[in-house]
Amino acid sequence: MRLVVRAADALGAGRLIPIVAAHVDSCLYHGEATVDFAQRLVDGGAQVSVPTTLNVGALDLLHPELWRGDLRTADRGRLLMECYRALGCQPTYTCAPYQLAFARPKLGEQVAWAESNAIVFCNSVIGARTERYGDFTDIACAIVGRAPDAGLHTSAARRAVLVLRMAADVPPSLLDSDALYPVLGIVLGRRAGTRVAAIDGIPPGLSEDRLKAIGAAAASSGAVAMFHVVGSTPEAPTLAAALQDAGPEEVAEISLAELRAARDELTTLSGGGEVGTPIGTVSLGTPHASLAELRGIERELAGARPAPGVELLVSTARQLLADAEEEGLAPRLRALGVELLVDTCSYIAPVLRPSPLPAMTDSGKWAFYAPGNIGVEVIFGSLRECVRSAVSGVVWRDPGLWGPA
Amino acid sequence: MKGRVLAAGSVTARALVLREPLSLWGGMDPASGELIDAHHPQRGASLSGRIVVMSAVRGSSSASSVLAEAVRAGCAPAAFLLGETDLILAVGAAVAEELYGVRLPVVVLPPTELARIHDDAVLRVDEDGSVTPV
């Protein structure tokens, strides 16, 4: 309770409001202080008072053999994940709790979620309400069942103040490609910072997987906790609705040139990952892959296997893996040589096979954090480019995807 | 000058003025207090025992854990003086006090006053959020 009140003071909230659920990120090991804190709660007999899901932890508890780091860190990471179960949290261990039917709040419900991509999805795509919670505050809110009455819990703070229009030179074929959306998210994060923006000029009914890609990237390059896509997100049936009938502070265009520049920055390998560049790894599923995305990977593989020496790894949630096992999808992917990782992520846990060659990804977030976290050179590409490159062992590019050269 | 107290405490130490915002997660090694963000212009500087001055905050919600871990390891900054409110650092400091009895002041100052603080100046931060040159 002291922590929640401290958070309320910092946010300038005059009171606390009840929440219906929580998503907790504190279960990822960052040193002994994180264990000391959890152990203190466990020893005190604390229990969560609302349904609470858990974010990724330090390791894949279902496939511990994938761990390539030191064993003591693995033990401490596992202990921390178990502490949070003991507090009554559900062992979901996913950064995409919104993909689990039982964990999805409803439009307008108040929750306390941590994990930047989950926060932005919750606010933007579901229309449930959370502020940006982080380690310690998330579990404190879950135990108390309350959150500060401030920020994005309130309607006024959810109004778009920045309008970003897609420029006329962005080709329809790009709007129709998965490759655009993580890059658009990187641009959104840079332009918006902490502000709520509305993106206009995208064909209505954008899929959840594409909205997820925008949000995850925007919360990496900026501190975006909410955005609107006019015609696609629930609080933006029209631009006027997103603006809550007020005028925007700023209106700007996103040009094809800006998108291409952001795309190029996601590739850290000098030379930019030209066609034919040898690769060692392909990492997909950041945030955790949905079932639709797992099926898409199988479709793109079309029965082919990764080239010898190339690791193709996909991260997902253990509950979705169980569904994929049941429908036969997971065994088919494994039979083709795809590694499936759950409970953690390949830029947090030491799981990738050491390789002197660069890694390729379709995730803006993975491209943003992996170079610093695990020291790999990254090449960004669309899902199709990633999968075909894995099969050939060298970079393949979709000609014309980003418009005429 | 006097600021808004996010976490109270009193300390006298040398200022370290960061020229760009820093996320502690991925930006500070909690085992040494060293600034490790490869993209930061002050990479390699030690934050340990310094009054860290930051006009804007950035980044990950895991920074609370990193701060608490740095306090545990005895390598944390002495205090933070910020140009804007940051829940993440305030909570990290609150948990560090609760677990290890170490009080690490976090104070928000008006940006104009923050800008007057020079690197290496010796400052005293008091319980009430007042900051005075020593």
- Domains annotated on chain B, with CATH: 4-133 (3.50.30.10)
Q: Which residue has the tokens 């140009």?
A: B83
Residues of B annotated as catalytic (active site), given as ranges: 60
Q: Are B8 and B127 in contact (CB under 8 A)?
A: yes
Q: Are A366 and A286 in contact (CB under 8 A)?
A: yes
Cα distance between residue B117 and residue A294, in whole Å: 53
Cα distance between residue B26 and residue A397, in whole Å: 32
Strands A52-54 and A22-24, by their bridges, are parallel
Cα distance between residue B21 and residue B80, in whole Å: 12
pTM above 0.90, yes or no: yes
CA-wise closest residue to A262 among A347, A200, A187, A206: A187
Strands A146-148 and A16-18, by their bridges, are antiparallel
Residue A220 vs residue B17, higher pLDDT: B17
> What is the reported pLDDT for B58?
65
Cα of B6 to nearest chain A Cα, Å: 6
- Domains annotated on chain A, with CATH: 2-153 (3.30.499), 159-255 (no CATH), 281-392 (3.30.499.10)
Task: Please answer yes or no on whether B72 and A36 come within 8 Å at the CB atom.
Answer: yes
Q: How far apart are the first and last CA of chain A?
A: 58
Q: Please spell the DSSP secondary structure of A225-256, one letter per residue.
A: --EEETTTSTT-SSHHHHTTTS--SEEEEE-H
DSSP tally for chain B: helices H, then strands E: 3, 7
Cα of A12 to nearest chain B Cα, Å: 10
Cα of A401 to nearest chain B Cα, Å: 30
Residue A57 tokens, joined: 């932890």
> Taking CB atoms and an 8 Å cutoff, what residues of chain B touch A372?
26, 37-38
CA-wise closest residue to A224 among A176, A190, A258: A190
Q: Are A41 and A143 in contact (CB under 8 A)?
A: yes
> Phi/psi of residue A340, each to 5°?
-110, 125
CA-wise closest residue to A185 among A264, A93, A105, A263: A263
> Taking CB atoms and an 8 Å cutoff, what residues of chain B touch A192?
none
Put the strands of the sheet holding A112-113 in their side by side order. A52-54, A22-24, A112-113
Residue B102 tokens, joined: 């170490």
> Taking CB atoms and an 8 Å cutoff, what residues of chain A touch B87?
7, 10-11, 132, 134, 137
Q: Are A129 and A107 in contact (CB under 8 A)?
A: no
User: What is the arithmetic mean of pLDDT over B57-73?
Assistant: 87
H/E run at residue A192: helix A180-192
Residue B72 tokens, joined: 């545990």
Q: Are A343 and A370 in contact (CB under 8 A)?
A: no
Q: Are A114 and A137 in contact (CB under 8 A)?
A: yes
Amino acid in the structure at residue A200: D
Q: Please spell the DSSP secondary structure of B49-107, one letter per residue.
A: TSEEEESS--S-TTHHHHHHHHHHTT---SEEEESS--HHHHHHHHHHHHHH-----EE
- Average pLDDT, consecutive stretches of 10 residues, N- to C-terminus, chain A (405 residues): 80 91 97 97 96 97 95 97 98 98 98 96 98 94 96 97 97 94 96 95 97 95 93 98 97 97 92 93 98 98 98 98 98 98 95 95 92 90 97 95 84
Interface of A with B in 210-249 (CB under 8 A): 223
Task: Please answer yes or no on whether B6 and A10 come within 8 Å at the CB atom.
Answer: yes
> Taking CB atoms and an 8 Å cutoff, what residues of chain A touch B37?
372
Cα distance between residue A331 and residue A340, in whole Å: 10
Task: Please answer yes or no on whether A133 and B68 come within 8 Å at the CB atom.
Answer: no
